[in-house]
Structure formats: structure tokens, C-alpha cells
Amino acid sequence: MAELKYLTGFGNEFSSEDPRCPGALPEGQNNPQVCPYNLYAEQLSGSAFTCPRSANKRSWLYRIIPSVRHKPFTVMHHGSLTDNWNEVEPDPNQLRWLPFTIPKVAEKKVDFVMGLNTVCGAGDSRARNGIAIHVYTCNTSMIDRSFYNSDGDFLIVPQQGKIFVTTEFGKMIVEPNEICVIQQGMHFSVEVFGETRGYVLEVYGAHFELPDLGPIGANGLANPRDFLVPVAWYEDYTVAGGYTIISKYQGKLFSALQDHSPFNVVAWHGNYTPYKYNLENFMVINCVAFDHADPSIFTVLTAKSVRPGVAIADFVIFPPRWGIADHTFRPPYYHRNCMSEFMGLIKGHYEAKEGGFLPGGGSLHSIMTPHGPDADCFEKNSKAALKPERVAEGTMAFMFESSFSMAVTRWGMDTCRRLDKDYYRCWEPLRSHFDPHWTPSSQKAKAGPGGCPRAAARE
């Protein structure tokens, strides 16, 4: 497989031509009476025409056949892809899933679309405000089939097996420890190379963007130059039996036939594109004195709500880094949150729960549901010698955090049969260490005036 080329940057005004057709982009205008090579001009809008320029998203595609030429759509059954958040009763418990099962190809061939399973979500795709979290488990490539999502954007997190993604804008290879984003309305197809699994964060009504850095400054976290956008590539062939176009619309799947590939875009320009990012490029910010910073410092991408500082969804990672905080319990603190937290594990062992939370599985801590380190983690790290150490080496955990109160689907609660009913037991060994006769005198000697660790550090 030849190495793919990419454009670099986040949200830039890009332009690209397939090198087989030099000069395919019109000069000086978007929609000439006759396009170069007799192509059709088609605009793909990712925002309202009247959005402020800073938020206006659109690209112009120059294609062999416009995407409007297809047979009528008909309903396509998919039992475990849903936006019905009332299938089962609400459950405020801490929930954890064992690694989601990948079907064996000898038993059933399953491609990316048919392998999508909704775990949880909230909101309304019709009202354009909400979130859904899916897993994909598949073993077969999409052949003469493409998919587009009318409801929102897909942030795809491969966990097992790389995926080869063909889009209207070009091709991307996405490995585990990388992510890609396919924005609303973009046709794509997924090729796999064996048993494949990963996670999908879907947002309705907003696009992902880089988080504001505030006092961090101009640089840090996910830097714009590390995002990669595919270059133009086209195929021009007909399919005698029909090429299947699959649309996700109002939470349902629909399919239509056409006689040609939708990946017939010879050239394009604009700022509304698919893109990928390697998580190893994340520039980690962390505490260098004392205490545990909030996990928002690990935000890669955010989909903002209309409330300042509150996200429809944040994509947060917990990458390898140094832990050097003094006088501090270094693992994640015990927490109750006004946000919902879904966690997944790409590889390795999550620092707060070394056992039970496995690659390819997940957990959901709902709004105001208590969570935090298990008993073993607490006991070990309450007594550990505080010296500089590498944290999460060989590990990549992530979190989809949302302001929505998410409901679990029937598939997530029952059908998948991967719910760990014993999850709560990891906290049962926690015991009281309270000593009513404790005095601060011994700690004052260690910590400095007033028992303040910071005072000791200053001395």
C-alpha cells in the first residue's frame, strides 16, 4: 500500500487537485458556467450561510457526477444503532463494560456500518442538539458501499486494527492511537484488515474545534499543525449491480442505489473537511508543584454548547507523562461531576484501575454518580514515595465528557452481554482511616509553618 499524502492544519482554507487532472480547480470563482474537465461544481455546507465568518464551514467539490443522482432511499434495518433514549429505565450506577465482542468472519461478515452499536446518548438529532456514543466491531470491508451521517459529526477512535478510510476528499489510514473526524454529510467508506474494534463519539448540532488555551498561551495541547487532511483522489467506474449509498438520518439508516462510485471528486477547496490526528503528538500540560489538575488540561477537541465553557462533548486523553507533584495523591481524585463521563481504553492499563478496565471495553459514570480510584490504587498511592515517575507509560485511555445526562441503550445494558455486574466491588474494600486523636504537630514539622506544604516548598 503506497504511503498517503496529507495537507496539514486545523480548519484551514485548503485546496487540492488529483495530480491526474492538473488545473481541475476553477480559477477566480467557485461555480463557472463550464468547469475544467467538464466537471460538476457542488458545494457542501457545514454551517448556515449566515454564520459569522470565523464559524462558517463549507467546501466546493468538483466531481464527475453530482451526488444528487441516485435512486430513492428506502429504510434499512439496523437494530442496535439508535437514538431512542427511552428503551430501558434510567440507571445511576457506575457502569463498566468488558471488551466488546468482535464477530468472527466465519460466523457472520460485518462491515463498519453494520458493526455500529449505540451504547448511550442523549438529546435529539432532529432538534440538532445532543450526543451519541457508539462502538464498532467489524471484520469485513465496505465493498461498493458508502455512508454519510446527516445527523452530526463522527469522531472515530480505532482500538484494534487500523482502518483505511476513503472519503470524497481523499484517503486516510487511521491506526490505533490515532483518531479521525468525519463531519456531517461527508461520504466515506471503511476498509479493514481483520477483526477490528473502536469507539465513535457523535455530536449533533456542533462541530469539533480546538479548545481555547487561555493562560496556557499560544501553544500546547493538540497543536493545529499536527492535524492531517486528505488530498484529492478520485475513482471513475460504474457498478453493474448498483453502488449502495447509506444515510443516517434522524437516527435511522436508509439506503439508495446508484450506478457509480461517490468518490468521484477530482478537486476541491474549502475549510470543511475530514481530518486525522495522532494522539502521540499531544503536548501534555501537567502539575509541576502540588495537587492534581483537572482533566480538562488533557482536552484534544471540544464541541461547544451555547453556554460559555460548557461542552456538548469533549474528547479528553490520558497520555504518557511525568508525575512529579509533591505532597499529593497523584492518581485521579474521587469525584462527583455535573458532566457525564464515558471512558475507553485503547491500550495498556488505566492508572486509577489497574484491573478490570480493559482495552476495548468502557465505563460510564453518569451525572453526579460518585467515582474514583479503586481500593488498591488508593492504598498504594497513599503510601508511595513521591519521586518523579512516568505515568501511563504504554497506555492510552480517553474520555468522552458531556454536559448531557446520557441514557444507556438496551444494547448497552443487555444485548451486548458485556456489562460487568461486579464493577461496584472494586470500591468495597475502601475502609475508614479516620483517627479522631490525630494532631497536626508531626506534619507541621515536615510541612513548614502552619502545616502548609507550599510553605515547606518555599523554605
Residue 242 lies in a domain: yes
Q: Is residue 456 part of a domain?
A: no
Domain annotation covers residue 445: no
Same domain, 194 and 301: no
Structural domain boundaries enclosing 332: 282-428
CA-nearest of 360, 356, 344 to 401 is 344
The answer to the question of residue 155 being in a domain is: yes
Residues 120 and 202 in one domain: yes
The candidate with the shortest Cα–Cα distance to 334, out of 364, 291, 370, is 370
For position 453, what pLDDT does the model report?
Answer: 46
CATH assignment of the domain containing 411? 2.60.120.10
- For 241-265, the pLDDT digits (tens) are 899 999 999 999 999 999 999 999 9
User: 248 with 358, same domain?
Assistant: no
Instruction: Read off the pLDDT of residues 415-452 as tens digits, 9 standing for 90 and up.
Output: 999 999 999 999 999 999 999 999 887 565 444 443 34
Structural domain includes residue 415? yes
Do 32 and 146 belong to one domain? yes
Same domain? 192 vs 228: yes
Q: What is the pLDDT of residues 129-165, one digit of tens each?
A: 999 999 999 999 999 999 999 999 999 999 999 999 9
Residues 57 and 184 reside in one and the same domain: yes
Average pLDDT of the segment spanning 355-366: 92
* Element of type H or E holding 381: helix 375-383
Residue 146 corresponds to which cell in the numbers above?
458508502
pLDDT of residue 5: 97
Torsion angle (degrees, nearest 10) of CA 365, 369, 375, 380: 70
360-376 burial, b at 16+ Cβ within 10 Å, e below that, comes to bbbbbbbbebebbbbee
254 with 346, same domain: the answer is no
Among 246, 279, 312, residue at a domain's last position:
279
> Residues forming the annotated binding site?
335, 341, 350, 371
Residue 444 falls within a domain, yes or no?
A: no
Above 60 in pLDDT, residue 390?
yes
Q: HEC states along 401-448?
A: EECCCCEECHHHHHHCCCECCCHHHHHCCCCCCCCCCCCCHHHHHHHC
Burial class (CB in 10 A: 0-12, 13-18, 19+), 259: middle
Of 218, 252, 279, the one marking the end of a domain is: 279
Q: For a pLDDT cut of 70, what percent of the chain falls above it?
A: 95
Are residues 137 and 14 part of one domain?
Answer: yes
Residues annotated within a binding site for homogentisate: 350, 371
Is residue 215 located within the same domain as residue 332? Answer: no
Query: What's the DSSP call for residue 285?
Result: -
| Amino acid code (one letter) for 242 | G
Position 294 pLDDT exceeds 60: yes
Where does the pLDDT of residue 1 fall: very low under 50, low under 70, confident under 90, or very high at 90 and above? low
Q: Is 292 a catalytic residue?
A: yes
Give the pLDDT confidence score for residue 41 in this predicted structure: 98
Tell me the average pLDDT across 169-182: 98
Q: What is the DSSP letter of 455?
A: H
Q: Are 312 and 208 in contact (CB under 8 A)?
A: no
Per the structure, the count of domains in the chain is 2
Separation between Cα atoms, residue 412 and residue 199, nearest integer Å = 13
297 and 250, same structural domain? no
Binding-site members for Fe cation are: 335, 341, 371
Compute the distance between CA of residue 25 and CA of residue 18 in angstroms, rounded to an integer: 10
| 311 band by pLDDT with thresholds 50, 70 and 90 | very high
In this structure, are 316 and 242 located in the same domain?
no
Give the active site residue among 78, 260, 292, 327.
292
Q: Pairing state of beta strands 145-149 and 238-249?
A: parallel
Q: Identify whether residues 275 and 309 lie together within a single domain.
A: no
